[in-house]
Chain A
Amino acid sequence: KAGVTQTPRYLIKTRGQQVTLSCSPISGHRSVSWYQQTPGQGLQFLFEYFSETQRNKGNFPGRFSGRQFSNSRSEMNVSTLELGDSALYLCASSLAETANEKLFFGSGTQLSVL
């Protein structure tokens, strides 16, 4: 069974631009979560979607948004990029209809903002 697929793998943008990252979950998984990983803050929760509905959102500004499609694939968007948005963005999927289920992560998209 294929794992979680994230595209692109690397991305370089400049301040003020916007970016869209894509995630394809494991087949059959209906929950998709997004995390930001930085050396200083570690892994920080962005948001979680299940059946196209956002069920939970982390403490990030409104510039960070996401959505989930009917095939469970998800995208996240960051508008008006700032230098501090440089990070590894990780997508994870799970079967989860309940909260306590293991997440399976993709390899991430490394975003560099110049």
Chain B
Amino acid sequence: GESVGLHLPTLSVQEGDNSIINCAYSNSASDYFIWYKQESGKGPQFIIDIRSNMDKRQGQRVTVLLNKTVKHLSLQIAATQPGDSAVYFCAENSGGSNYKLTFGKGTLLTVNP
């Protein structure tokens, strides 16, 4: 069945370092993927998305990599800042008439000053 899982439930990095958050997905039919950031007391905030016809997409300080061969997704955050501390979720959508996202459990990123 559909599932999205994260390799690391917690990640602690030093300010200024690069962060990499990983995600595995099991539905080979998924063709759209999103990363969200959720801070305490807030709803998930869109970071970046990627469609299955791409293997890399860059935003401001963030890069998402998609490896369809091994069904793996990663979020790279450059020069991590204390404001990046949050829970990060990956989500997938299998497209077609499936109007829903399947979310992973989340990774807690802590940035140490």
Given A102-B34, A102-B46, also A107-B41 (CB < 8 A): yes
Majority-rule SS of B interface residues? loop
List A contacts of B98 (CB < 8 A).
56, 99
Chain A 42-75 near chain B by CB (<8 Å), digits 1 or 0: 1111001010000110100000000000000000
Contact indicator A105/B49 (Cβ below 8 Å): no
Given A45-B100, A48-B100, A99-B97, also A4-B43 (CB < 8 A): yes
Which of B68-76, B78-86, B101-109 sits within the interface? Answer: B101-109
Across the interface, A50 reaches (CB within 8 A) one of B34, B41, B99, namely B99
Given A43-B89, A100-B95, also A58-B100 (CB < 8 A): yes
Residue A25 is within 8 A (CB to CB) of chain B in the complex: no
CA distance A102 to B45 in the complex (A): 10
Contact indicator B43/A56 (Cβ below 8 Å): no
Chain B residues proximal to chain A, CB less than 8 Å: 31-32, 34, 36, 41-46, 49, 51, 89, 91, 93-106
